[in-house]
Amino acid sequence: MDSEIKSSKPLFVGATAAIITASILPTVTITPILPKIQMHFVSVPQVDVLVQLIYALPALLSMLAAPFAGLISDRIGRREIVLLSCLFATLLGIAPYFLESIWLIIASRALLGFFQGTLIVCTSALIADYFIKQRREKILGLKFGFVGIANIILLIAVGYVSINNWRNGFLLYFFGILATLLVFLFIKKPPYTQIAPIGEKVPIEWKQLIPPYFGAFMGATAFTMLFSQLPYLLEVRNISSSPAFAGNLTSLTSAGMFIAAFFYAKLSGLVSAMRMWFFTFALVAIGFAILSTSSQLIGIAVGGFVTGLGTGLVMPNSLNMVLGMVPAVARGKAAGIQTTCWFLGIFAGPMIGVTLSRVFDGPSNALGVWSFVAVLTCVLYLIINRNQTER
């Protein structure tokens, strides 16, 4: 099989590019323009919550769709599913540019989430279908590393194109056309895939999957809580109310993410996957603590970067654990539930953030509270790792 891979190296390079590009599409973020959307719809009751729904609701639908998308992809294959998801995610992502009602925008974002969840699941499972062992770890790191780079570019782009009109940020979903073309041209039948027989029950050790599933949820919660609260933190600190500035600063978080993701393959050879969770949430705790206590721009920048280092390890570590623990015919199903946990965290992050901000009087205190939660998560994984070591 290795000689087969070498002989078709251009195909595998193209497949890698297509998988990574399709994976970037769900990461297009609108956080820098949330304050401007809220200002535009200021007359709508509970607009602060509704604007957070515009950002977070796709994650809820992704969470609901992911297990079914994964299960179906195990039965019929993943290429066509990824192709259609790229196309519909592009159309629905652009839709708010033309919509005048906040409720229609929310509805379009909800539908977008269905296809985003499908893309996350199927592109992750495709990596396991195309690559094994160290090569899989490397490609997972590359995938989330490039997702981090894309986050930097897209965050900056959303901020700048939206200076005069917040709707312009949604036009960046045109990126999906490139993803669709690459998938159509380069995704062929993977060498390590297996189609699950209809009606056959595949045994999965679900108890073993709890740590990576829980890690995905907690990591995603921290990731989106930071992204959604940072523009408001900048306003409260009287630093800036510009979406372009917020986008530039938030990109530092993504810089930390892609650096951590790129080095994941090397780190995984030095640290066990379970112990990796301790370092992940220790970085999140430190980053949030810095954000909560610093009143200067440099402190906020450092806090965002450190948090990004932690959250950048979440998805490659979680997926590597999950994909290595289940049979090939159950990859889609297992990855689907992992994606559900991830998107549940993405949905919960902004909602928890705005709730904590209300209860504890502002974004600074909200981030401080979640820093303490991250410390407790570190302790939990230390206990789990110790129990597994003693067995």
**Does some domain include residue 100?**
yes
Q: φ and ψ at 148, to 5 degrees?
A: -65, -45
Tokens of 169: 């940020």
Say how far apart CA 55 and CA 229 lie, in whole Å.
Answer: 12
Burial of 368 (0-12, 13-18, 19+ CB in 10 A): middle
Tokens of 183: 């998938």
pLDDT at position 2: 43
Q: Hey, what amino acid is at 89?
A: A
Count of structural domains, the chain: 1
Tokens of 242: 């510009």
**Does some domain include residue 256?**
yes
Residue 340 DSSP SS3? helix
Of the candidates 375, 238, 248, 353, the residue with the CA atom closest to the CA atom of residue 305: 248
pLDDT at position 11: 65
Residue count of the chain: 391
Q: Looking at residue 195, what DSSP letter applies?
A: P
- State the pTM of this model: 0.73
Say how far apart CA 356 and CA 359 lie, in whole Å.
Answer: 5
Please list the rounded mean pLDDT of every run of 10 residues in the chain (391 residues).
48 79 81 84 86 82 82 80 92 92 92 88 81 75 78 79 87 90 83 56 77 93 85 81 72 78 81 88 94 86 91 88 79 82 83 88 88 93 80 58
Contact in structure between 129 and 79 (CB atoms under 8 Å):
no
Say how far apart CA 303 and CA 346 lie, in whole Å.
Answer: 19
Of the candidates 278, 268, 32, 263, the residue with the CA atom closest to the CA atom of residue 155: 32
Residue-range definition of the domain harbouring residue 293: 2-193+204-390
pLDDT at position 205: 76
**Does some domain include residue 266?**
yes
What DSSP string runs through 45-86?
TTHHHHHHHHHHHHHHHHHHHHHHHHHHHHHH-SHHHHHHHH
Of the candidates 153, 134, 273, the residue with the CA atom closest to the CA atom of residue 211: 273
**Does some domain include residue 199?**
no
**Does some domain include residue 54?**
yes
**Does some domain include residue 129?**
yes
Q: Which residue has the tokens 């302790």?
A: 379
Q: Which residue has the tokens 């990126």?
A: 175
**Does some domain include residue 272?**
yes
**Does some domain include residue 198?**
no
Q: φ and ψ at 99, to 5 degrees?
A: -95, 140
What DSSP string runs through 272-307?
-HHHHHHHHHHHHHHHHHHHHH--SHHHHHHHHHHH
pLDDT at position 84: 92
What is the domain-level CATH number for residue 297? 1.20.1250.20
